[in-house]
Amino acid sequence: MKAAVLYGAHDWKIEDRRTPLFGDNECLIKIKACGVCHSEIHQWETRVEGLEYPRYIGHEVAGEILKVGSHVKQFKVGDRVAAWADGRGYAEEIAVSTEFLSLISDEIPYEHALSEPIACTTNAVLRTNVQLGDTIALVGMGFMGLIMLQELRLIGAKKIIAVDVRKEMLELSAKLGADIQLNPDEHDIDLEIKKLTGEKGVDISFEIGGNQSTLDLASQICRMEGKLVIFGYHPGSRIIKDLGYWNWMAFDIINAHFRDMKTILNGMKRGMDLFNAGKIKMDKLITHKFRLDKIEDAFTSAKNKPIGFVKSVIVFD
Ligand SMILES: [Zn+2]
């Protein structure tokens, strides 16, 4: 089988490898799609000190079960599944333990069935304990923000305010049900949020963009005793510019990242149930598809975000 291996910055090699061995509680999967994740970009862009290369990345996998381990009862050969893989997803085949597999409905294309991002957004929404009628800002309307928007709509916010510098992402957020669109390049966000919330700020401010400006902005527009949710992925250092202000505002700071396996799997189960029921839709979000031998282009798109880009996915026959 073919696999893409990352040897250093921008240094992919497509190699022939043996079919992976699989254990009693694992399934061998013929991969049909693997999403390119924002969290992988920094290790491709530069050779990161302290990380081991060559790297076998790719964790947002969907495919068909080819073989099942001797103890596997709940899955069978031919099942269509999404898998949260521990790397090795940019390959034609992978072995995954059954606890990380979710069945997907027949009508859903493989490239839409990315269970890891759905688990992350679902857990963030669960941990935030969103209340019916909350006013919510989403700062950073990329792929994750657009999934989270759909989930927050299910709970019933009073207003969902989408914030992004990319016009077409704001337009997409409107299509997916965000009530208000604000562009920091065109609006004084602080002022607009004050107008929209009777001077108070939003009940919940989700920082999703994963950069300093989204962190600054998200904290600035959160109301006193509201919730600031840090969902964005922040490799490297960030500064809290005015901790005195954060103290004074007395908002809860929620670090919406998860490491405990039980929590992760609970989010994945709940999120994938919503996805299979058609309540989370990916058709407008999977915008760029690439074959395995074009993986460098897939990462370049994810980094540069050409007009209309939301998510790139590697696809296989
Ligand atoms: Zn991911």
Q: What's the pLDDT score for residue 42? A: 92
Which of 15, 25, 99, 103 lies closest to 56 in space, CA to CA? 15
Q: What is the dihedral of CA 241, 244, 249, 255, to 10 degrees?
A: 50
Reported pTM = 0.95
DSSP assignment letter at 51 = S
Give residue 311 CA to ligand 1 midpoint distance, Å.
11
Q: What's the pLDDT score for residue 149? A: 98
Give residue 159 CA to ligand 1 midpoint distance, Å.
28
Q: What's the pLDDT score for residue 235? A: 81
Give residue 194 CA to ligand 1 midpoint distance, Å.
34
Domains observed in the chain: 2-114+282-315 (3.90.180.10), 120-255 (3.40.50.720)
Give residue 62 CA to ligand 1 midpoint distance, Å.
13
Give residue 224 CA to ligand 1 midpoint distance, Å.
32
Contact (Cβ atoms closer than 8 angstroms) between residue 111 and residue 63: no
Kindly give the parts of the chain with pLDDT less than 50. Answer: none
Give residue 245 CA to ligand 1 midpoint distance, Å.
33
State the Cα–Cα distance between residues 136 and 133, nearest whole angstrom.
9
Residue 104 main-chain phi, psi, to 5 deg: -120, 145
Give residue 140 CA to ligand 1 midpoint distance, Å.
16
Q: What's the pLDDT score for residue 317? A: 86
Q: What's the pLDDT score for residue 256? A: 97
SS3 269: helix
Give residue 40 CA to ligand 1 midpoint distance, Å.
8
Q: What's the pLDDT score for residue 63? A: 98
Give residue 142 CA to ligand 1 midpoint distance, Å.
13
Give residue 59 CA to ligand 1 midpoint distance, Å.
6
End-to-end CA distance of the chain, in Å? 13
Give residue 251 CA to ligand 1 midpoint distance, Å.
28
Residue 7 main-chain phi, psi, to 5 deg: -95, -15
Q: What's the pLDDT score for residue 236? A: 81
